[in-house]
Structure 1
Amino acid sequence: MDKLKVTYEVMLGLSAEMIWDEALRKYRSEEVYKKIDKALANRDKVAFTELTEELKTLI
């Protein structure tokens, strides 16, 4: 029974970590999208290029 409990706790921890990672990725993606919009508005090609490359790694 103890082995089952340990396995369950490990799986629960992994699930929590996956949810946390997804939330952080989503938050960062939203921030990068906002910065891309700002770079486009300011006609900042360098920032736009850097941010789109970062966005590709997040997606």
Structure 2
Amino acid sequence: MENNALNEMDRMDPNVRDEMLAELFLNQVIKNFKKRKILKEVDHSLKNKDKEAF
């Protein structure tokens, strides 16, 4: 299945392919940032024994 996706990307217009890859990359970066932020807030609330914040 992964090979099919790679083959499709090879046949795409390079500009469209680059735009899609950039969007996927940015989405992953944003997701990772939000996840780290939430985990940091959870750690902080646990450290301070703040049930409401948790």
Q: TM-score range by the shorter chain?
A: 0.5 to 0.7
> How far 1:11 moved relative to its partner?
1.2
Partner of 2:18: 12
TM-score by length of 1: 0.63
How many corresponding residue pairs?
A: 43
**Relative contact order, higher structure (CA 8 A, sep 6+):** 1
Gapped runs of 5+ residues in structure 1?
Answer: 1-5, 49-59
Gapped runs of 5+ residues in structure 2?
Answer: 1-11
Alpha-carbon RMSD: 1.5
- The sequence identity of aligned pairs, in percent, is 26
Structure 1 segments, 4+ long, off by >3 Å, are none
